[in-house]
Chain A
Amino acid sequence: MAILECNELVKTYGHAPALDHLNLSIEPGHILGLLGPNGSGKTTLIKLANGLLTPTSGQVLVNGAVPGKDTHAIVSYLPERTCIPLWMSTRKLLDFYQDFYADFRRDRAEEMLQHLSIRMDQTIRQMSKGTREKVQLIMVMSRAAKLYLLDEPIGGVDPATRDYILNTIINNYDPEAAVIISTHLIADVEQVLDEVIFINQGQVILQSSVDQIREEKGMSVDALFREVFKC
């Protein structure tokens, strides 16, 4: 069964359609890139899959179900911004995730935190921006979810951290789960992806494997993106 499915999905804000009869089907076992310019509908799609928005018409299904508290239990979401409560300490945050998510692997999270020398009693507020993002990522990736939705996971971090994040994503690979990475930084993630989706003006304009694009078009996905979305 498709882990994420969209059928004639429409979402309008006022008069502007953010998603325009979007059709999509994603099978587990892949790491996908959701690629498109700003305003193409990437974030809207992710929010709909999370149940943070409701469709104007059409449907979005996660593992065959409408987004709600049951799908939240199998979806792990990394928002673009740091959204974890600032007043919590690392330890309290671990308690929080462990309490609410049955699939949270605390030992993995603690291992990663220790590896990055992040202290247990430090509050999120006291951490630098980069460290906060790492903590949030560690929490998200330490869940054994069926669908990971990562919104710009490597956007504002230094190259070494970028490598660490991509490393974590590969290491976390589960043939029964799908990882969707929404990003602008295509060149950096291209190797990690096996499939990409180009989205523009609320519609899917391309869904293909990375190698297929390289074979058929003779260029990288990054190059193809620049061509397709030339200003």
Chain B
Amino acid sequence: MLRKLMKHEFRATARIMGPLFLIVLVPALAANLAIRFLLDSDVFLPNLLGGLLMAAFVIGMASLAIMSIVLMVNRFRTNLMGDEGYVTFTLPVSSHQIVWSKIIVSTVWFIATGIVEALALLVCFFDLDVMRNIFNSYYFHQALQALHELVKRYGLNVPAIAIELIVFCLLSCAVLCLEFYAAMAVGHSFANHKGALSVLFFFVFQFALQFISGLLFNLDEFQNMFYTGMNGMQDFHQMMAVLIGMELLIGAVYYVVTTLMLKKRLNLQ
């Protein structure tokens, strides 16, 4: 059943995410062309057009990032809290399956968004003289050299660092999503002012999170566990483990709140 839920989640969200990806990739191509042909021109009009295309590209990049979160949250709202909820919550599936399908699909889209953003950057700066100049410059070589020294000196495992950071980023995105879900699930369990209360609860959760984090980070025990002087990979792994562990815990709390609200206090009008 979970697989079917995810299949239909993808069907429902791909129709918007797909076009969004185009909205970033096409301007990326245009930006590339702009840099090549338009921006160096002495004539005003091509210059302006080039500038506009670059702006479109930047706006597209930003929009994609923001929209992917907005879309995932809105999907939750329309599919579960609106009229569609009458169909979704009478399907032969559990609320756990429903929430998991949404989290998994959202995470996949976040990964896809990341890949598309990177791709767009690549397309934008592909095979350009200006990039070639940068990569061939003395300063760039110096910077690479310095980084190389750093890696050797501290025994840095670059792939591991990359993986842990990526995992943490993805987890944070998923947990952010869950925070929205939990806020909406709670907000909509009230009879009136559902939307306003959802927003309110989001900020309540944010505040509670900051508050507890603040308290935690002031504890000596916690600081010892977390700040270990950064002497090599072992310490980095430890720090990442703590961060990832905390995210998992927070995510779990939001997950429980969400599913509990949906199961016990569903309030479809």
Complex Cα gap A147–B79 (Å): 24
Which chain A residues border B7 with CB–CB below 8 Å? 99
Q: Is B8 at the interface (CB under 8 A from chain A)?
A: yes
Does B90 lie within 8 Å of A84, measured CB to CB?
no
Contact of A100 with B92 in the complex, beta carbons under 8 Å: yes
Cα–Cα, bound, A13→B8 (Å):
34
Which residues of the other chain, A, contact B4 by a CB distance below 8 angstroms?
Answer: 99-100
Chain B residues within an 8 Å CB radius of A184: none
Contact B86 A77, beta carbon cutoff 8 Å = yes
A52-91 vs B: 1/0 string, CB under 8 Å?
Answer: 1110000000000000111011010101011111010000
- The CA-CA distance from A92 to B266 in the complex, in Å, is 27
- Residues of chain A lying within 8 A (CB to CB) of residue B264: 54
By a CB distance below 8 angstroms, the chain A residues around B1 are: 69, 100
Interface residue? B146 (CB, 8 A): no
- The answer to the question of B12 belonging to the interface, with a C-beta cut-off of 8 Å to chain A, is yes
In Å, the complex CA distance between A47 and B263 comes to 13
Contact B268 A101 (CB under 8 A): no
Q: Judge whether A51 and B89 touch: CB under 8 Å.
A: yes
B129 at interface, CB cutoff 8 A:
no
Contacts of B263 in A (CB 8 A): 54
A73–B90 contact, CB under 8 A? Answer: no
Q: Does A50 contact B (CB under 8 A)?
A: yes
B260 CB to nearest A CB, Å? 11
> Is B83 an interface residue when CB atoms closer than 8 A count as contact?
yes
How far does the alpha carbon of A87 sit from the alpha carbon of B14 in the complex, in Å? 12
A96 within 8 A of B: yes
Contact status A87-B12, CB under 8 Å = yes
Taking a contact as CB atoms under 8 Å apart, the answer to whether B84 and A85 are in contact is yes
Of A53, A77, A99, which one neighbours B90 at CB under 8 angstroms? A77
Q: Which partner residue on chain B sits nearest A79 by CB separation?
A: B86
Which B residues lie within 8 Å of A50 (CB)?
89-90
Once bound together, how far apart are the Cα atoms of A63 and B86, in whole Å? 21
A99–B7 CA distance with the chains assembled, in angstroms: 10
- Report B-chain residues with C-beta under 8 Å of the C-beta of A83: 83-87
Q: Which of B1, B4, B86, B93 has the most CB of A within 10 A?
A: B86
B14 CB, min distance to chain A CBs, angstroms? 11
Which of the listed residues B79, B90, B93 has the most CB atoms from chain A within 10 Å of its own CB? Answer: B90
* Complex Cα gap A83–B80 (Å): 11
Which of B87, B93, B268 has the largest number of chain A CB atoms within 10 A? B87
Q: Is B92 a contact partner of A87 (Cβ separation < 8 A)?
A: no
Which chain A positions have C-beta within 8 A of B89? 50-52
Q: Nearest B residue to A53 by beta-carbon distance?
A: B266
Interface centre among A72, A81, A101 (most CB of B within 10 A): A72
Q: Measured between C-beta atoms, what is the minimum distance from A229 to chain B in Å?
A: 25
Is there an interface contact between B8 and A99, defined as CB atoms closer than 8 Å? yes
Closest partner residue, chain B, to A136 (CB atom): B87
Residues in chain A near residue B92, CB distance under 8 A: 69-70, 72-73, 100-101
B152 at the interface (CB under 8 A from A): no
Give chain A residues whose Cβ lies under 8 Å from the Cβ of B268.
Answer: 47, 52
Confirm or deny: B91 has a beta carbon within 8 angstroms of a beta carbon on chain A: yes
Interface centre among A52, A69, A82 (most CB of B within 10 A): A69
Closest beta carbon of chain A to B148's beta carbon, Å = 52
How far in angstroms is the closest Cβ of chain A from B230? 49
Cα distance A73–B93 in the bound complex, in angstroms: 9
B11 within 8 A of A: yes
Which B residues are in CB contact (< 8 Å) with A54?
263-264
A-B contact pairs, 25 of them (CB 8 A): A47-B268, A50-B89, A51-B89, A52-B90, A53-B266, A69-B91, A69-B92, A70-B92, A72-B90, A72-B91, A72-B93, A77-B90, A79-B86, A81-B86, A82-B83, A83-B84, A83-B87, A84-B87, A85-B12, A85-B87, A87-B15, A99-B4, A100-B4, A100-B91, A100-B92
Residues of chain B touching chain A, judged by Cβ–Cβ distance below 8 Å, are 1, 4, 7-8, 11-12, 15, 79, 83-87, 89-94, 191, 263-264, 266, 268
| Apart from A13-B191, A54-B263, A87-B15: 9 A-B pairs, beta carbons within 8 A | A50-B90, A69-B92, A69-B94, A72-B92, A75-B90, A83-B86, A84-B87, A85-B12, A85-B87
Q: Give 4 closest A-B pairs by Cβ, nearest first.
A: A73-B92, A83-B86, A72-B92, A83-B83
